[in-house]
Amino acid sequence: GEWEELAEGQRVGPYRVVREIGRGGMGAVYLAVRADEEFDQRVALKLVGLGSAAEIVRRFRAERQILAHLDHPNIAKLLDGGTAEDGRPYFVMEYVEGRPIDEYAGKLPLRERLALFREVCAAVHFAHQNLIVHRDLKPGNILVTADGVPKLLDFGIAKLLDPGRSDPGLSDLGLRPMTLQYASPEQVRGEPITTASDVYSLGVLLHVLLTGRSPYAAAADDRPALERAILQGETVRPSQAVATREEARRLAGDLDTIVLRAMDPEPGRRYASAEQLAADVQRHLDGLPVLARKNTASYRLDKFVRRHKAGVATAAAVLLLVLGFSVTVTLLWQRAQRERDRAAAVSDFLEDLFARADPSQSRGETVTVREALDRGRQQIAGGLQAAPETRASLMETMGRVYRSLGLHDQARPLLEESLRIRRRTGQDPVAVASNEINLALALQEMGKRDEAEPLLRDGLEILRRQGATATLDYAAGLNNLGGLLKERGDYKAAEALFREALSLKQRIPRSDREVARAYNNLGDVLYAQGDIAAAEPYLRTGLAIRRRLFGGEPHPELATSLSNLASLLEAKGERSEAKALYREALAMRRKLYDNQGTKVAQSLGNLAFVLLAEGRPAEAEPFAREALALKLPNDFYRAVFLRHLAASLAGQGRGREAEPLAREALAIFRFSKSESSRWRTPDAESVLGSCLAAQGRYAEAEPLLLDTYLVLKADRGEGAHYAPAARQRIVDLYMAWGRPDRAAAYRNGEASTAPAPPAPPDRHTDRG
């Protein structure tokens, strides 16, 4: 059909075009946004060309119908559809900002490339289960987001296997659209297409991901030679397509065979499904025999030896092999027995401990979790008879629970002693690493970052050496070290660690909690860099996962997600939703922490701050006072809440009462090593200026307020969010001083509309 390039700002239905992002045989694709601004969301809008042939329009409508059946995390979602004013159909999809899978995977380790491929297989299998064949699987139709999530796109030439679900002619459009390099032999011959055709294309894709090259020797632009290679099965093995001997060694055997089976010229000899192909890749990763190879005794033995290198030690003689195997099995059995006994002992101890908190067992006495833990700690300190492994496990477990309750003084000695036991008795390195990471987290939350960092780095290095990177402890270590670097102001390094943690989500079973932490942390560090638009979806996703995980029940991690998203919304000026989230977090933390501790104080401070931003200092005051009355881990937290109380008093005209509080906060910030002191110090000076102004000391207040406003305005991080409030204090100063002309100069422009700054207390990366 004729092409009419839509101009920027042109409307299609309720959407406004931003720019063209691609075009193909059926139509053009545009980046668009909602014109009515009901939703702040970027979308991909696909519009058929003017004057397109009936078959093209039918294929276009077919793609829209097909997408309506597909709701899968690895398939770009259909969001909307309709007919433009000129009668052309259009549909709207999730906008995927990513790179083609072959480009993204180019420098990934082999295991990660294979894990990525398995996600693609899952999406294709889902489509097949919905009776849909894609028919154009290629890197350009599989984009990988910055978070490492592959998204399957473009079902424009897909086929429905159930004609009863479609319009007449939808299942077979009588056309042979395809990308030849990824096409199956039956596509080339124009024969009926089944799911086996997509399995073949997945085989080609796997070859490309493994080698970076096409499986055919024929040049891509030599169509006759390429068709001949496809039809005659002239496939180059992956191990023969790479440049180095080491690469060839890694691909020879299983991976060669898997690719060749998926690409068998005969559909009946390929894998029966995309799921079966993915399962064989996983079997290879697990060191198990793959279905694609003959199940000979020698092959099974070879796979067994590879899986048990430490135990079987590649003996030359059959007798030595058998003896070595017997010894290994015995040692493994003994180790398993010890592990079982240790786990049983830990379980029995904890079960007995918390049974005492059950009213039916405590003779009517109310026993809290804290009291039960204290009794257990006393029991261990009193000389609990147990093996060193058991003592260490018990102490670490209880230390983690104490930490989760915010009781760091009780958590630290337990975690330190369990680590000493493990190091002294030469226990499993992975257990030592886990212990180091958990102790580091407690130290971080106590503000002892210099002590935490070497523990985190050592723990992560041990896990890397042990090949234990696909573990929850490793993901937790990445999140924790990223949090430490973020607090230091090394945002880019922190961002890289959070993205690495997020990339592990498909490799770690039952990893939803660490995935949610990574989403939250990544959103947090993007926000700290001033990129609110990029941060918001990560924070919302993290919150959604946690709501699902905890079912709305109070939980520390859920409370942190609520607070962090609220802080971002406040920065955007969306105070109504922000306040609702802050209040939900406060109510949750009051229950969780018995109305005590740092987290409760943070939530109180958040509400004080948002009330101040709304010009309600009298309502903010009691929240700030309650926060200061709680036990806080260090002076830095105290300074934050002193600042809030000083601001609330100054806002009520009680400048003399507020001034010493502001000066105390300012002194703490000036001598703090925290990166955030860069902007907290001028913010506190600005609050001090408002205290002076409230006492009528306008000449003293003026230079303070003017200078600090300029500093905050120039800040490229979180400090910039505090500039509007600092400017408003200047306006208030000049109005009180009787100089409305000067006030107007600062009020004009953004002063009256700028959003309030985000609340600072929860600007600590979530590590809970």
User: What is the per-residue pLDDT across 306-339, written as a single tens digit (0 to 9) for each?
Assistant: 444 444 444 433 323 333 333 333 333 344 344 4
Mean of pLDDT values over 680-699: 96
Q: What is the pLDDT of residue 303?
A: 47
User: What is the per-residue pLDDT across 204-248, written as a single tens digit (0 to 9) for each?
Assistant: 999 999 999 999 988 888 899 999 999 988 898 999 988 888 888
Mean of pLDDT values over 56-72: 70
Distance CA 690, CA 700 (A): 10
Mean of pLDDT values over 520-524: 93
Residues 6+ apart with CB under 8 A from 664: 639, 642
- Is the confidence at residue 302, as pLDDT, over 80? no
Distance CA 628, CA 639 (A): 9
Low-confidence winner among 321-335, 397-411, 529-543 (lowest mean pLDDT): 321-335
Residues 6+ apart with CB under 8 A from 80: 13, 43, 91, 92
- Is the confidence at residue 617, as pLDDT, over 90? yes
E strand or H helix at 133: strand 132-133
Q: What is the pLDDT of residue 120?
A: 95
User: What is the per-residue pLDDT across 110-162, written as a single tens digit (0 to 9) for each?
Assistant: 999 999 999 999 999 888 877 788 888 999 999 999 889 999 987 655 554 44
Name the most confidently modeled range: 26-35, 459-468, 656-665. Answer: 656-665
Would you place residue 454 in the very low, low, confident or very high pLDDT band (cuts 50, 70, 90)? Answer: very high
Q: 273-303 in b/e burial notation, b at 16+ Cβ within 10 A? A: bbbbbbbbbebbbeebbbbbbeeeeeeeeeb
Q: What is the pLDDT of residue 471?
A: 85
- Is the confidence at residue 6, as pLDDT, over 50? yes
E strand or H helix at 23: strand 15-23
Helices H, strands E: what count in the chain?
A: 31, 11
The encoded tokens of residue 35 equal 């014109």
Helix (H, G, I), strand (E, B) or coil at 193: coil
Name the most confidently modeled range: 292-301, 305-314, 585-594. Answer: 585-594
Mean of pLDDT values over 400-417: 85
Q: What is the pLDDT of residue 402?
A: 81
Q: What angle do CA 722, 728, 732 make, to 5 degrees?
A: 145
Would you place residue 18 in the very low, low, confident or very high pLDDT band (cuts 50, 70, 90)? Answer: very high
User: What is the per-residue pLDDT across 537-547, written as a single tens digit (0 to 9) for each?
Assistant: 999 999 999 99
Would you place residue 577 in the very low, low, confident or very high pLDDT band (cuts 50, 70, 90)? Answer: very high
Q: Could you tell me if 48 and 64 are in contact, meaning their C-beta atoms sit under 8 angstroms apart?
A: no
Q: What is the pLDDT of residue 311?
A: 44
Mean of pLDDT values over 740-758: 63
Distance CA 766, CA 690 (A): 32
Q: Give me the chain's average pLDDT, please.
A: 80
Of 270, 269, 58, nearest in space to 160 by CA: 58
Distance CA 70, CA 78 (A): 8
Would you place residue 100 in the very low, low, confident or very high pLDDT band (cuts 50, 70, 90)? Answer: very high
Would you place residue 409 in the very low, low, confident or very high pLDDT band (cuts 50, 70, 90)? Answer: confident
What are the two backbone dihedrals, phi and then psi, of residue 21, each rounded to the nearest 5 degrees?
-120, -5
Name the most confidently modeled range: 396-400, 517-521, 553-557. Answer: 517-521
Q: What is the pLDDT of residue 762?
A: 45
Query: Which domains are delineated in the chain?
Result: 11-94 (3.30.200.20), 100-301 (1.10.510.10), 314-459 (1.25.40), 603-747 (1.25.40.10)
Catalytically active residues, by annotation: 136
- Is the confidence at residue 377, as pLDDT, over 80? no
Residues 6+ apart with CB under 8 A from 748: none
Low-confidence winner among 69-78, 237-246, 299-308, 654-663 (lowest mean pLDDT): 299-308
Name the most confidently modeled range: 41-50, 341-350, 733-742, 743-752. Answer: 733-742
Distance CA 495, CA 683 (A): 26
Q: What is the pLDDT of residue 477?
A: 92
% of the chain at pLDDT higher than 90: 40
Q: What is the pLDDT of residue 346?
A: 44
Q: What is the pLDDT of residue 506?
A: 62
Residues 6+ apart with CB under 8 A from 94: 43, 44, 76, 77, 79, 151
Q: Could you tell me if 568 and 532 are in contact, meaning their C-beta atoms sit under 8 angstroms apart?
A: yes
Q: Is the dihedral of CA 88, 91, 92, 95 positive or negative?
A: negative
* Chain-centre distance for alpha carbon 592: 25
What are the two backbone dihedrals, phi and then psi, of residue 245, each rounded to the nearest 5 degrees?
-65, -35
Of 227, 145, 224, nearest in space to 186 by CA: 227
Q: Strands, E, within 24-74: which ranges?
A: 27-34, 42-48
Distance CA 511, CA 407 (A): 25
Low-confidence winner among 42-51, 186-195, 336-345 (lowest mean pLDDT): 336-345
Q: Could you tell me if 648 and 692 are in contact, meaning their C-beta atoms sit under 8 angstroms apart?
A: no
Q: Could you tell me if 185 and 200 are in contact, meaning their C-beta atoms sit under 8 angstroms apart?
A: yes
Of 599, 601, 608, 593, nearest in space to 630 by CA: 601
What are the two backbone dihedrals, phi and then psi, of residue 28, each rounded to the nearest 5 degrees?
-110, 155
- Is the confidence at residue 724, as pLDDT, over 90? no
